[in-house]
Every structure is written in C-alpha cells, then in structure tokens.
C-alpha cells in the first residue's frame, strides 16, 4: 500500500522511452526512403568495387545522383539481377549468351584487368623468368614438379634455376581471377581442359589454396619455390616477383596496362554475342595472354525504366570521364571502339535507354 | 524511495484507499505482461531454430536430391562439372577439432587446476586476466597471426623436425609426411587449440572454485596429495561443469571459420598426413559462397552447412547423454 504511489510511475518511464525510440525510428526511415528511391542500386563482383565506388563518388559530385553498389560477389550479383531486386548486377565471369536470354538481361564490360604469375625463388627478380602457356598448365597440373625441369630450363637459358620443389598456391575463394586464369590454361592445354576446366572455382589437382589476392601473395612470399597468380594491379602495388609470358604470337611480353589494352584491341568484340569475350590467349604481338574484363548485367525490360536509364547514364559518363580514375587504380579502361559498340547495343536492346 | 513511500503512507486518505484496487489491478496486469513477454522471448528461440533448420534443408534439397547419400562419402568437389561430395570438408572439420581438443583439454584443465589449487595469490590475477584476454581476441586476428607468424615458424622449425623425427616410424611417418608448407591440418588444429583454451580454462576455473573448501580440506587431512585431491575430489565434484566447458569449446572448434581459412590450405583433398593442406566445412562455405554461380553449387554449400549443424547437434546430444549416464551411475 505504501509503495503504491511509486510503482506505476517507475514502469511508465521506459514506456515513454519506447515511444520516443519508435518515433525516432519512423522519422529516420521516412528521411531515408526518398533518398534511396532516387539512387541507382547495383550488386555483384568484388573485383571492380574500388573503381565503381570511385566513379560513383565523382558522379555524385557532378550530377547529384548517387549509386549504391554492394560488392557481394558475382554469384550474388547474378542472383539479385535475376530476381530484379537491383537496377544492375555485376559479374567477373561473363554469362553465356543463352543464359543472358534466359534471364532477360544484356551484359557489357566496364574495365579490364590482367593476371600474372608470381614466384618466390632466390636470386630471381621480376621479369627474370619467362613461362609459356603449356608449361604453366603443366606446372599447375602438378606434372612439372621441380624448378630445374627441362621445360623451364629451355625457356630460360640464362636464369639459374634451383633443384627445388615447386609449391603451388591458388585462390581458395571463388573469384573472377581464377576464372580468367583457368580459362587461359584451358585454351593452351587440352589436358587442363579435360581434367580441370574453367570456372570461378575449380578442383585443383595440386597445391594449397589461399584467400584473396593478398592470401596468395603472402603464401607465395612465405614459401620458397612457390608460384601463384594474382591480379597485375595487386602485383604492381605490392612489388611482387612477376614472370613474363610468351603470348599467342610467340612473343615475350610483360604484364602492364599497355599489353592488356593490346589484348582487348586484338579481340573481336563485334562478333561476340553478349560481349562474351574473355581476353585470354588473344592474338597480337604485344598482347598479354591472361586478361579479362568485368561485366555489368542490366535487364532488357527493366521494372523501373527510370532507374535503368539512370544506370546507363552513369556508365556512359564513366566511359567518357572515368578512364583516368580507372588507371589510377590500375584497372585498364575499355578501348573507345568497344565503348561505341556497347552504347549502340544499349540503344537497340534496352527499353527505356537514353 | 522508502522515505517517499512512508510519507505518502502517513497521509492515507479515503481517495487513496479506493485507488488501491485499481493499483493492484495494474500490478497484476504488469505481471501478466511480463510473463507473456518472457514466454514470447523463449518461444522466439524455438521459432528461429526451426526457421534455420527449415531454410537449411530447403536450400540443401537440390543437392541432396541430386547426389543422395553419395554427397556424404565422395571426395570430389568440382564446380566445373558440378559434382560435389562433402567427405573432405567433413574429415577436415573433425580432424582439426580433434587435434585442438587433444591439446586444449589437458592444458586447459591443468591451467585451471593450477590457478585454483596451486597458484600463489599474486600470480592468480595476471594469469586469469591473460586467459580472459585470449578469449576476447577476434578470430581474424588469430588467422592473421597464424598466417604471418605461426605458420612460417612451424614451416621452418617444427615441421622439418617432425618429418625427420618420425620419418622411419611406421604409422607416424604417414601422419607427418610431405613437404613442410607451414599451413595445413596440423596448423589449423594448433590455432584452434589456442582459441578454445580460454573456454575450457575459465569455465573449469569457475567450477573448481565452487568446490566446498571443507571437502578438499578433509581430503588433505586424510593425507591426500594435490594430484589425488584434484583427481578424486575436485574433478568428480565438477564434472558437469567441466564437460560443459569442453563441449562449448568443441562447438567453437567445429564452427570456427576465419582463423581456420587462413591457415588450413583450403584444398579439397583427404591426405593421410596432418601436415598436408585440407579444408573444413565452415572454411569451404566462407571461401566459396560469394562467388558460387549456379544453383547446384550454392545448394551443395548450404548442404555442407546442414551437415555442420547435424554434427554439432550430435556432439551436444552425445554430451547430454554422457552426462545423464554419468549422473545415473553415480546416483546424484
């Protein structure tokens, strides 16, 4: 009885808090929704995330339109665009034309990157070692087990190759890098094609798996006699020991933006339906043999035509103004001839295009 | 609060007497609301758990339908041909956890016994705090440390020694075979042992401290050694708590993802050697889920998750059963 004056008040106080919190939540949601509706949303590949973020930032400053890109992985990007929950999807691995038709989207490349073998051998510096495609395939199949193997010695008469076991390091996570690398090995080696094949993740015949470019780089750095593969941008930024490659024309090339651009120029984009083009083993004296583009997927008949049109405007802006930003981040921009092809494809295939 | 209550009590009026029924009613309502709230919270757990089981089974169904029982016994994990089998990750999960428990259980119990029975008072707090800090380190830190510091150390100093020492011993030579990569099943097991150690230690220490001093003093009075007191008084008295701690640790070891991914080598192969690279269920899922393209691939990864769920469930059920039988036998 004596407490009666006190109790009800003490439990009424938290109730007041709850209403306050709920009200604040509604206000926040209300403030958030309109802003979200004006933005373009995209989801997918992790590899191009830094450049998409940079472009989006610059684009927002210029036009006031925002882009919300979630790097959830290529698989997730394809699922999201199939379900049409985002304006565009992004994938490091291009979809086959038949699959594009099935989910009713078109695909186009935005930026390119190269992949380069990295090694850890005493006394061997970047560019000291040259490997050709079939030999690289034999190494990753586990057929060539030692660094002083005759096949390697023949390619590198000047280098002093040790009698040391080759430790293989590959990506453990599914990745576009692995897709491009295994695609190249499949093109240059029939045995690789039949035994392993090409995908974002494969059943590796030998070696250890490491997560991400940084995982591969660190495992190679920690293991004497190791060989792995990373993106050229990553190798450059971290000053890894890279090798040269012999390309389709039989010329020895170094991985840089020039040789990757040469590979893109050598490819016949006009004859590739759905821009299904993987830049591996491309002809051309200067072409780097292991390169690939990253792709955008956008519906032919978008649910929200205005948003799709905004997204295409964004990419048109990026092709026009984004090359320098891409190069700063060590991506390779698409050649102008390809961009023209892409934009005519937008006009013919996407409803509500600009 | 009490003062206020007394003041209002001393000035009882007729109006307040009438209010009393109302106030009581309100209190009763509040109590009922509280009861429903707690029950709702408890039911939520059941709903969430069954939701997880349902979505795992639903997601795993295409893979289970395609591969059937073979999913559990095949080693092939080939995203290109879409042929998946789970035995390599299952093997890796169990072996790494086994290595971790083999090391962490005795060491953890010894630390706890030392802290409660033998440790000088001034050392008790620093060691106790260190153990608790060990539990607070995020697993990614263990992973990075394992990759950059621990694995190179093992590769250069420990593994060559193991290979050389056991090279001619029949069974052990297979167990410690192959080139010293530094990372692999053994490294993952050792990292896991360090990670689960604090769970075993801190729980055991807490339950050891709960042993009534009179029991121990009686045992000492009878002339028991410290070992005998620990073995015949402390451990039997605290076995439920200790087994609980061990099971909690095992649960963490089975499910640990990040640290293992860094140091296990992520190879879908079963090798006789514990120095060879392998993979675990959670590491496989973490590695491959984001870029898994194709329904069957994704479904197989979810099926792996379901298997891990079942393994954990079996472990917990087994622990319960063991405890029940132990209690029944001892009549407590």
Partners of B279 on chain A (C-beta within 8 Å) are: 172, 209
Closest partner CB to B80 (pick from A73, A92, A196): A196
pLDDT band at A352 (very low <50, low <70, confident <90, very high): low
Residue B32: CB atoms within 10 A of its CB come to: 10
Residue A155: CB atoms within 10 A of its CB come to: 19
Task: Give the per-residue pLDDT at A211.
Answer: 84
Please answer yes or no on whether B290 and A173 come within 8 Å at the CB atom.
yes
One DSSP character per residue, A169-224 reads EEESS--HHHHHHHHHHHHH-HHHHHHT--SSS---SSSEEESHHHHHHHHHHHST
Distance from CA of B314 to the nearest CA of A (A): 29
pLDDT digits (tens, 9 = 90+) for B50-81: 999 999 999 999 999 999 889 999 888 988 88
Top residue of B293, B294, B295, B301 to mutate, by most chain A CBs within 10 Å, is B293
Nearest CA in chain A to B271: A206
pLDDT digits (tens, 9 = 90+) for A19-67: 444 444 444 444 444 444 457 899 988 888 889 999 999 999 998 888 9
Kindly list the strands in the beta sheet with A130-132, ordered across the sheet, starting from the edge strand earlier in the chain: A130-132, A244-246, A252-253
Nearest CA in chain B to A165: B179
State the DSSP code for A290.
B
Rounded to 5°, the CA angle A163-A165-A169 comes to 140
Residue-range definition of the domain harbouring residue B9: 1-67
Check if the beta carbon of residue B260 is closer than 8 Å to that of residue B188: yes
Please answer yes or no on whether A6 and B183 come within 8 Å at the CB atom.
no
Task: Give the per-residue pLDDT at B167.
Answer: 78
Task: Give the per-residue pLDDT at B13.
Answer: 64
Top residue of A48, A211, A216, A218 to mutate, by most chain B CBs within 10 Å, is A211
Q: What is the pairing mode between strands A244-246 and A40-44?
A: unpaired
B51 and B184 share a domain? no
Please answer yes or no on whether B182 and A218 come within 8 Å at the CB atom.
no
pLDDT band at A254 (very low <50, low <70, confident <90, very high): very high
What's chain B's average pLDDT? 88
Segment A272-283 mean pLDDT:
88
Task: Give the per-residue pLDDT at B57.
Answer: 95
Please answer yes or no on whether A172 and B266 come within 8 Å at the CB atom.
yes
Task: Give the per-residue pLDDT at B214.
Answer: 93
pLDDT band at B38 (very low <50, low <70, confident <90, very high): very high
Instruction: Give, in order, the Cα–Cα distances in Å from A258 to each of A277, A285, A294.
Output: 19, 12, 18
φ, ψ at A333 (rounded to 5°)? -70, 160
**Distance from C-alpha of B139 to C-alpha of B198, rounded to nearest angstrom:** 13
* pLDDT of B15 above 80: no
B250 and B268 share a domain? yes
Closest CA to A41 of A63, A70, A64: A70
B164 and B147 share a domain? yes
**Quick one: tokens of B295?**
């329904």
Q: Mark out the alpha helices in chain A (DSSP H runs).
A: 7-38, 49-63, 74-82, 97-103, 133-141, 150-155, 176-188, 190-195, 212-222, 232-237, 257-266, 305-321, 323-328, 336-349
Please answer yes or no on whether B23 and A76 come within 8 Å at the CB atom.
no
Number of C-alpha atoms within 13 angstroms, CB side, residue B60? 26
Task: Give the per-residue pLDDT at A21.
Answer: 45
Q: Is the Cα torsion angle B158, B159, B163, B164 positive or negative in sign?
A: negative
Partners of B262 on chain A (C-beta within 8 Å) are: 211, 215
Please answer yes or no on whether B183 and A167 come within 8 Å at the CB atom.
no
Size of interface A-B (CB pairs under 8 A): 129
Segment A135-152 mean pLDDT:
93
* pLDDT of B262 above 50: yes
What's chain A's average pLDDT? 84
**Quick one: tokens of B111?**
């630390």
B85 and B223 share a domain? yes
Q: Is the Cα torsion angle B6, B7, B10, B16 positive or negative in sign?
A: negative
B62 and B36 share a domain? yes
Measure the N-to-C terminal CA separation of chain A; round to a whole number of Å.
76
Rounded to 5°, the CA angle A348-A350-A351 comes to 105
Q: Give the rounded distance of the alpha carbon of A305 from its chain centre.
A: 27
Distance from CA of A79 to the nearest CA of B (A): 9
The SS3 of residue B190 is: helix
φ, ψ at A305 (rounded to 5°)? -60, -35
B173 and B311 share a domain? yes
* pLDDT of A159 above 60: yes
pLDDT digits (tens, 9 = 90+) for A309-318: 999 999 999 9
pLDDT band at B186 (very low <50, low <70, confident <90, very high): very high
pLDDT digits (tens, 9 = 90+) for A235-248: 888 888 999 999 99
Closest CA to B150 of B64, B38, B264, B43: B264
B176 and B252 share a domain? yes
Please answer yes or no on whether B267 and A203 come within 8 Å at the CB atom.
no
Top residue of B139, B163, B286, B291 to mutate, by most chain A CBs within 10 Å, is B291
pLDDT digits (tens, 9 = 90+) for A330-341: 888 988 888 999
Segment A246-270 mean pLDDT:
88
pLDDT band at B132 (very low <50, low <70, confident <90, very high): confident
Please answer yes or no on whether B261 and A7 come within 8 Å at the CB atom.
no
B63 and B108 share a domain? no
Which residues are within 8 A (CB) of B182 and not within 5 positions of it... i.e. 6 or more apart? A222, A223, B151, B152, B154, B155, B156, B159
Task: Give the per-residue pLDDT at B330.
Answer: 66
φ, ψ at B228 (rounded to 5°)? -65, -40
Task: Give the per-residue pLDDT at B14.
Answer: 64
A49: exposed, middle or buried (C-beta count within 10 Å: 0-12, 13-18, 19+)? middle
**Distance from C-alpha of B11 to C-alpha of B26, rounded to nearest angstrom:** 22
B58 and B125 share a domain? no
Please answer yes or no on whether B6 and A5 come within 8 Å at the CB atom.
no
Is B154 part of the contact surface with chain A (CB cutoff 8 Å)? no
B15 and B145 share a domain? no
Task: Give the per-residue pLDDT at A38.
Answer: 53
B182 and B269 share a domain? yes
Domain boundary among B51, B67, B83: B67
Task: Give the per-residue pLDDT at A271.
Answer: 83
**Quick one: tokens of A174?**
């599914």
Closest partner CB to B291 (pick from A4, A6, A75): A75
Packing angle, helices B281-288 and B87-113, rounded to 10: 120
Q: Give how many domains chain B has, as a whole number.
A: 2
Partners of B155 on chain A (C-beta within 8 Å) are: 222-223
Distance from CA of A222 to the nearest CA of B (A): 7
Residue A19: CB atoms within 10 A of its CB come to: 9
* pLDDT of A73 above 50: yes
Please answer yes or no on whether A209 and B23 come within 8 Å at the CB atom.
no
Domain boundary among B27, B47, B67: B67
Give the CATH number for residue B113. Answer: 1.10.3720.10
pLDDT digits (tens, 9 = 90+) for A207-228: 899 888 888 988 898 888 899 9
- Provide the chain B residues 75-104 that lie in CB contact (below 8 A) with chain A: 76-81
pLDDT digits (tens, 9 = 90+) for B291-305: 787 789 999 999 999
Please answer yes or no on whether A222 and B77 come within 8 Å at the CB atom.
no
B259 and B198 share a domain? yes
Q: Note the pTM of the prediction, 2 decimals.
A: 0.77
Check if the beta carbon of residue B152 is closer than 8 Å to that of residue B182: yes
Domain boundary among B67, B89, B117: B67
Please answer yes or no on whether A93 and B16 come within 8 Å at the CB atom.
no
């Amino acid at each position: 009885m004596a407490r009666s004056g006190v109790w009800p008040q003490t439990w009424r106080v938290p109730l007041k808090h709850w209403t306050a919190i709920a009200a604040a939540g509604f206000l926040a949601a209300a403030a958030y929704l309109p802003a979200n509706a004006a933005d373009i949303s995209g989801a997918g590949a992790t590899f191009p995330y830094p450049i998409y973020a940079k472009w989006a930032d610059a684009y927002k400053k210029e036009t006031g339109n925002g882009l919300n890109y979630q790097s959830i992985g290529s698989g997730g990007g394809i699922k999201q665009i199939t379900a049409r929950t985002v304006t565009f999807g992004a994938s490091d691995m291009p979809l086959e034309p038949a699959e594009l038709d099935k989910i009713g989207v078109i695909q186009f490349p935005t930026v390119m990157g190269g992949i380069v073998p990295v090694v850890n051998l005493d006394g061997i510096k970047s560019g000291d070692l040259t490997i050709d495609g079939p030999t690289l395939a034999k190494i990753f199949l586990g057929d060539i087990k030692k660094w002083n193997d005759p096949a390697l010695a023949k390619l590198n008469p000047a280098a002093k190759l040790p009698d040391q076991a080759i430790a293989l390091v590959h990506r453990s996570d599914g990745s576009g890098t692995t897709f491009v690398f295994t695609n190249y090995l499949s093109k240059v080696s029939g045995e690789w094609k039949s035994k392993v094949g090409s995908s974002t993740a494969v059943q590796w015949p030998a070696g250890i798996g490491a997560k991400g470019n940084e995982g591969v780089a660190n495992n190679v750095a920690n293991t004497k006699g190791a060989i792995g593969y990373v993106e050229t941008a990553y190798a450059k930024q971290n000053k890894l020991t890279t090798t040269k490659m012999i390309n389709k024309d039989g010329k020895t090339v170094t991985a840089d933006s020039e040789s990757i651009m040469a590979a893109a120029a050598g490819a016949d984009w006009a004859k590739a339906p759905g821009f299904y083009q993987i830049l591996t083993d491309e002809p051309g004296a200067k072409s780097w043999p292991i390169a690939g583009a990253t792709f955008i997927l956008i519906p032919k008949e978008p649910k929200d035509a205005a948003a799709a049109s905004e997204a295409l405007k964004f990419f048109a802006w990026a092709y026009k103004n984004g090359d320098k930003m891409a190069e700063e981040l060590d991506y390779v921009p698409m050649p102008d001839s390809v961009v023209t092809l892409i934009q005519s494809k937008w006009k013919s295939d996407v409803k509500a295009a600009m | 609060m009490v003062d206020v209550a007394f003041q209002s009590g001393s000035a009882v009026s007729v109006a307040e007497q009438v209010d009393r029924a109302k106030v009581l009613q309100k209190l009763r309502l509040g109590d009922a609301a509280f009861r429903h709230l707690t029950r709702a919270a408890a039911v939520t757990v059941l709903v969430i758990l069954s939701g997880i089981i349902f979505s795992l089974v639903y997601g795993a169904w295409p893979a289970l339908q395609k591969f059937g029982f073979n999913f559990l016994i095949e080693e092939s994990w080939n995203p290109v041909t879409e042929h998946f089998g789970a035995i390599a990750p299952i093997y890796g999960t169990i072996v790494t956890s086994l290595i971790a428990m083999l090391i962490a259980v005795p060491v953890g119990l010894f630390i706890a016994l030392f802290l409660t029975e033998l440790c000088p008072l001034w050392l008790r707090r620093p060691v106790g705090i260190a153990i608790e800090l060990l539990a607070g380190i995020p697993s990614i830190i263990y992973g990075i440390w394992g990759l950059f510091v621990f694995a190179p150390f093992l590769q250069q100093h420990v593994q060559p020694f193991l290979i050389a020492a056991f090279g001619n011993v029949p069974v052990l030579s297979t167990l410690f075979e192959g080139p010293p990569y530094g990372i692999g099943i053994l490294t993952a097991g050792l990292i896991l042992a360090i990670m689960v150690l604090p769970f075993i230690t801190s729980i055991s220490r807490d339950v050891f401290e709960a042993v009534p001093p009179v029991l121990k003093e009686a045992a000492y009075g009878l002339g028991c050694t410290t070992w005998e007191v620990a073995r015949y008084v402390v451990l039997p008295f605290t076995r439920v708590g200790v087994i609980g701690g061990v099971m909690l640790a095992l649960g963490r070891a089975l499910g640990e993802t990040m640290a293992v991914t860094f140091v296990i080598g992520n190879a879908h192969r079963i090798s006789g050697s514990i120095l060879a690279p392998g993979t675990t269920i959670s590491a496989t899922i973490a590695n491959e889920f984001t870029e898994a393209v194709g329904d069957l691939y994704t479904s197989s990864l979810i099926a792996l998750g379901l298997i891990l769920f079942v393994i954990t469930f079996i472990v917990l059920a087994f622990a319960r059963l063991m405890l029940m039988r132990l209690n029944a036998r001892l009549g407590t």
